[in-house]
A = this chain, B = another copy of it.
């Protein structure tokens, strides 16, 4: 199993160096505050081409740099103005969607005081949003909204009360007779159970899909998947058992006992992004009696011979960004289809190993789940 872990790191690092979608010579001066800024904050800003501009107050600093920008060149260097503010614009446009970043002030790593924070890289990072041509599917709209419920569930194996978030669709509380299928949805390395709603906007994607009648409503359960290791490099020694125990033996029974679920294999799916895909692969293969639908988002592939009992698998979904070596996903899909698996693949155009790929992947995956 260990071998399969390495590619996620390679992909992650690759994505940092190809974060630009093009280079243009003329920068349009139509910058607006990022939608992920803290209330009332004017910076960072984004223009209609996808350039980002930063502005940081540090009057006595000698050097201020932002980690977003051309990878090999160490991000974007800011220039100090007479007012004590450091300002700079990325050398090229950024990919559409969400990006993590941080600010280096005189050699120390801090966050941008103007931006909201998002948990990634085992720290709360600054976030910026480059408006995407397809942002409508994850926008907050005037439609019925589901809820995101924070639960604390008892975990004997870790001797803690652990946190999870449960998305319940609009109307969940109204009709007490309806029971729902459940998708267990995992974050990536260095992220946590907040990522799929904060960065991924999973609840809004679901609200919008449900409002248009495109999907059968289901619950989504999100919990912390780095049960045993949180340090850099720890993933090499990653063992799935601690998290598998929390998920399968503790969280699933708790959810089935406390929410109105269809508590059986055919109504249970698991999906994960990046490291969460690795976990999804390991757990679905270890526990074929628990999940019937599997999805790996920028998180590896299955080989037909990985799967012992074909009759237990109703759907395999594989996805990644077009900037992430999609050949692996494509060839695995061909092989799985040839072996008779109901397999769907999706390549997110123009995106790398980042949340826009995974927002789109969830949007593509949701209508395929729990079809019968």
Q: Does A110 contact B (CB under 8 A)?
A: yes
Query: Which of chain A's residues 75-126 have a Cβ closer than 8 Å to chain B?
Result: 84, 103, 105-111, 113, 116-117, 122-124
**Number of A residues, CB within 8 Å of B:** 48
Which residues of chain B have C-beta atoms less than 8 A from A123's C-beta? 38, 113
Residue contact A145 to B161, C-beta cutoff 8 Å: yes
Interface of A is mostly: loop
Inter-chain CA distance A140–B56, complex, in Å, is 38
- With both chains docked as a complex, state the minimum distance between the C-beta of A150 and any C-beta of chain B, in angstroms: 4
Inter-chain CA distance A113–B154, complex, in Å, is 30
Residue contact A105 to B105, C-beta cutoff 8 Å: yes
Which residues of chain B have C-beta atoms less than 8 A from A140's C-beta? 152, 161
- Interface stretch, picked from A60-68, A241-249, A316-324, is A60-68
Contact of A107 among B84, B122, B150, B192 (CB under 8 A): B84
Which residues of chain B have C-beta atoms less than 8 A from A179's C-beta? none
Contact of A117 among B106, B117, B122 (CB under 8 A): B117
Inter-chain CA distance A56–B124, complex, in Å, is 16
Residue contact A150 to B152, C-beta cutoff 8 Å: no
Cβ proximity bits A253-279 to B, threshold 8 Å, 1 near / 0 not: 000001100000000000000000000
Contact of A39 among B161, B230, B258 (CB under 8 A): B230
Which residues of chain B have C-beta atoms less than 8 A from A57's C-beta? 107-109
Q: Does A231 contact B (CB under 8 A)?
A: yes
Residue contact B38 to A124, C-beta cutoff 8 Å: yes
Known A-B contacts A122-B39, A124-B38, A154-B142; A58 and B108 likewise in contact (beta carbons under 8 Å) = yes
